[in-house]
Structure 1
Amino acid sequence: MKASVQMFSAFCVALVPGEALSLEVGFSDYKLLPELAATGFEPFSSSGRNGEMFAMRNADQFYACYGLDNSYAAQLRQEQMDAEVNGGSANRKVQNIPVICVKLQ
């Protein structure tokens, strides 16, 4: 299977003109998920191959979105949810999971 993937990759590279291989990668500010949603971007599924949770699109603009969670915050959320399931909890406040989105080129 690995050999067939390598052969396919070599085949694709052979078909691409030299100018396309020297594509300059640009820079842009990342966006927070609510910023994109407020400006009309809509979610769509992605492969998750590069660790993204999902993607957002609006016309010809695309962003890959990543969760920036940490194990400590996840543990606290889990404990709070467990307390809720096991009879309720006086405090329902949990830390949000920030999601940033990076422009795709």
Structure 2
Amino acid sequence: MIRLAVIAVLACAGPAAMAFEPGQSDYVFSSDMSAQGFAPFGTGGSGNTLYGMANGSDIYLCFLFDTPENQATRQTALLAELAGTAKSRTIPNIPVVCVMTQ
């Protein structure tokens, strides 16, 4: 009888847990998080993440936030460097943004 009651409560709790709406927060650049004392941790690439950042109970997952144009600019500049024909060493940074988990 008790076992049946527990199963009934858990069965009803499932749909309620699924109805929970995630909150919203601003994304943060990885470099800013490092400056705030967050420490990186490995994620194994799950969900296309690069890595995660944690500080206490605050956990963020980090992703590339790049454009094909910036990728092409970096590749062209690095190939020119290898060929000895580089005019400048200035290239676009690779933006990594981190999103809060809940």
Look up the match of 1:4: none
Q: Which runs of 4+ in 1 moved over 6 A?
A: none
Correspondence list, 1:58-97, <5 A = 58-97=55-94
5+ residue gaps, structure 1: 1-13
Say which structure is richer in helix.
2
Match of 2:40 among 28, 40, 43: 43
Q: CA RMSD in A?
A: 2.1
Aligned to 1:75, what secondary structure does the other structure show? helix
- Larger gyration radius, structure 1 or structure 2: 2
Look up the match of 2:27: 30
Look up the match of 1:101: 98
5+ residue gaps, structure 2: 1-9
After TM superposition, the score normalised by the length of structure 2 is 0.77
Instruction: Give the fraction of aligned pairs with identical amino acids, expressed as a percent.
Output: 34
Deviation at 1:100, TM superposition (A): 1.0
Deviation at 1:88, TM superposition (A): 4.9
